[in-house]
Copies of this chain bind each other. A is one copy, B any other.
């Protein structure tokens, strides 16, 4: 192997490569940017209809990423190489991979992957879909199809390629730290950059004067606005960039609270949108001069004239392969699911019979194989109604010109017209035989419709057809037997060419016959069947774990994800330094699974071992290179985590509390510190309601005090999903009691659907308190979720509250706690807000109960009375559900219902006077009531209620049989109504039987 390129050689090669393609080679910008995207050569030039192809280096400054040069590849400044291709030249992935080859990355030696990574900057009104590109597990580039920027929909769609130069060169040069990169054959990257890096970190984290830097921001903003008023795009944009960099410094300095962040973002968004608007307007006024310029690489593939295949006479296999750029895991699953249903539906609709439908797929292809597809539709007849009989035939019964015209139009002989009489109407009818069309001809129209019918949560446009799909379509195979079904979708003509594996250079593969498809795939080492691929991954992964005496904890989601990231899985076993095992397992596992999609390896005892299993896309060639790369990546990530962990544990958890005051929970509701102070009171109130003992209350109080502190720790700032987990860990390390540590962890539970729930009472109490505070507070300041927006995830919060109470099996009316929560808030909370919160929780409870399979009427009946008390409601519903299944249920419901129906509309409450009524049936019912009454309390559950009521059935029925309730004697009438009201009252507060089916 020849000497790897130096850092500067890589830059020069990329310049040359993209210049040769036809890019304008640009320079880094004269301001400090967070990324190459911020260079006006991207931010502005992507707007509007003009073509723009550009490549440039961009040293990118992100103050909060600084690590004092102690991390092997995390720095406040890193170097991007940025490419914009607008419009999409049709083969941007291949161009990109070609550029990697140009700088010496052999696809056969490495594992290059496209891993979903979408980009969204609401602050900039910008978004796009794309990937991180991974080289042996290391993110080396970002690849994005920009859809919107500065609030503008982009058309044409630009492709953005952003290379992380340091990471790429580290790989080329096989060095383990950026600082060791050979820059020019003489100096290392560290020689020129390590000192500035350390200095910038000191400045950003320790020294920058918050007051002064904030003043700079304001001055920049004012100048930017003045520029825009005058219509000056670039001077304004320069100041906006300075705003952005200044904000980053304030952020690194820890000077930005949540509200301030929102406010700064809002200000920056306004500026950016304004400048984008101004630029768009400017280019319009200039008449879009670049539209006249030639566009590199823009060869529009001619879509051939649709040539219907020669109709077949035998059943044949149908193949549809949709060739895409790497679909995200979720989109692939969605595509395959939909095809499973949509293909049979399409064929049925098309009246084409078949034997089997098989749907398979990988990230790059989704294929449908239909065996024994009928060569053509069966013929079918249709009756067409013509003119009235008296018009069609003359008095002599001969067809008139009208009949002849109609027959001619329908293509039948006039003598075949029939007269049909319907009621008093008679008209002629033609029976037309529609000949079945050949399958190929039908599919020419049906296949595009099939594709058009696929639905995905997020799609992009990428070419001038403005078709949408989760990622661009690049080829289509449509074969019926050996015949191409000629159609086009999204500007792509169908054919018989598919492509091989990326590591093999995606060779074109001709499919001669649809039936050869699976064989061709196998031959080219593409495991096209997801089930088979999943099994291969599982087996390989487990075998490797076993080879070091370990095993892989079950994780179906991870297995599914990894399966759908590759076309040909080859697992590899990597290891890491055992010293990192000293870090909390949660941290290590989070890094391995979430960031790297690695399988962690645990010992028989369930302890983490210093291994991981990664899965490469491709075969085993040069697997060692790939392994080493992946190991390096993990090492860097662990080093990062260790850096944070060491920093965080250099002081007790409690010492992070003051920093919470700089994190705003909400502008009107105060800081996170304010919130955690409220929780110290509210958690105890909830604890009392949950009957916590003294010791538990002490735990709840201490946990409330500390529960948010980890939000200010570095590790949680970096890996947000570890909140609570790190709180527990740090609390333990700080010497807090285990119960306190556990409660801190538990108060976030459940973190998502299906997550575990708090197991301790203090944890539950604190979790409830936290949710109550958020719900009441945020509703009070007008942030109740709307149909589409729930930024504070209050739905999940309310549902968690429901789940916790049910899990704790604790009846607890929520209203008093809502009042208590409201009293602690710094804002006024009207009763209507409390009603709204209660209703919102009840709605979640309703959903939860329904999800448990409970009948809607049962749920309604229970919630009408116990909506405020989730556990009670749940128990009531469960019991009621059993009752309504009983054979004698209707007897009970009918009898009890008779009592209710007659008093339901009474405005007054009457009193039963036992001695007054002469009827024995009344006395019997009175006695039955007394017996039931003795058993039922307002807090009673449904079982007790109905058990108590059930024996009353005979007495009720006897009463109604014998007694006229609405007696003319008012006293008598009112006494009888009073008794029935008493009986109804038994169930009130427990269940509203009127809502049950059959009432």
Q: Which residues of A contact B (CB under 8 A)?
A: 8-9, 11-12, 15-16, 19, 22-25, 27-33, 57, 59, 61, 79, 183-187, 191-192, 195-196, 199-200, 202-203, 207-209, 212-213, 215-216, 219, 222-223, 226-227, 230, 232-235, 238, 282, 286, 289-290, 293-294, 296
Contacts and interface: CB of A to CB of B under 8 A. Distances in A.
B24 A199 contact: no
A780 to B, nearest CB: 40
A165 to B, nearest CB: 11
Given A199-B234, A212-B219, A192 B24 contact: yes
Nearest first, the 5 closest Cβ-Cβ pairs linking A and B are A203-B235, A8-B25, A196-B234, A24-B184, A199-B232
Contacts of A232: 199, 202-203, 207
Oligomer: number of copies? 2
Contacts of A186: 22, 24, 293-294, 296
Contacts of A294: 186
Given A12-B15, A27-B57, A213-B219, 7 more contacts: A8-B24, A12-B16, A31-B32, A186-B294, A195-B234, A207-B230, A207-B232
Nearest to A192: B24
26 contacts: A9-B19, A12-B12, A12-B16, A22-B186, A24-B183, A24-B186, A24-B187, A24-B192, A30-B32, A31-B31, A31-B32, A32-B238, A186-B296, A191-B289, A191-B290, A195-B234, A196-B233, A199-B232, A200-B235, A202-B235, A203-B227, A203-B235, A207-B227, A212-B219, A216-B219, A219-B219
Contacts of A61: 30
A773 to B, nearest CB: 40
A215 B218 CA distance: 11
Contacts of A227: 199, 203, 207
Contacts of A57: 27
B19 A8 contact: yes
A203 B293 CA distance: 30
B223 A208 contact: yes
A227 B206 CA distance: 11
Contacts of A207: 226-227, 230, 232, 235
B30 A11 contact: no
Contacts of A184: 19, 22-25
Contact of A235 (B22, B199, B234, B238): B199
A289 B190 CA distance: 11
A172 to B, nearest CB: 17
Given A57-B27, A191-B289, A203-B235, A215 B215 contact: yes
A208 B226 CA distance: 8
Nearest to A184: B24
B28 A233 contact: no
Contacts of A79: 27
Contacts of A187: 24, 290, 293
Best-surrounded residue of A57, A202, A222, A235 (most CB of chain B within 10 A): A235
Contacts of A226: 207, 209
B200 A234 contact: yes
A12 B25 contact: yes
A28 B31 contact: no
A408 B282 CA distance: 101
A572 B32 CA distance: 49
A976 to B, nearest CB: 87
Given A8-B19, A208-B223, A215-B219, A233 B31 contact: no
A207 B222 CA distance: 12
Contacts of A29: 30
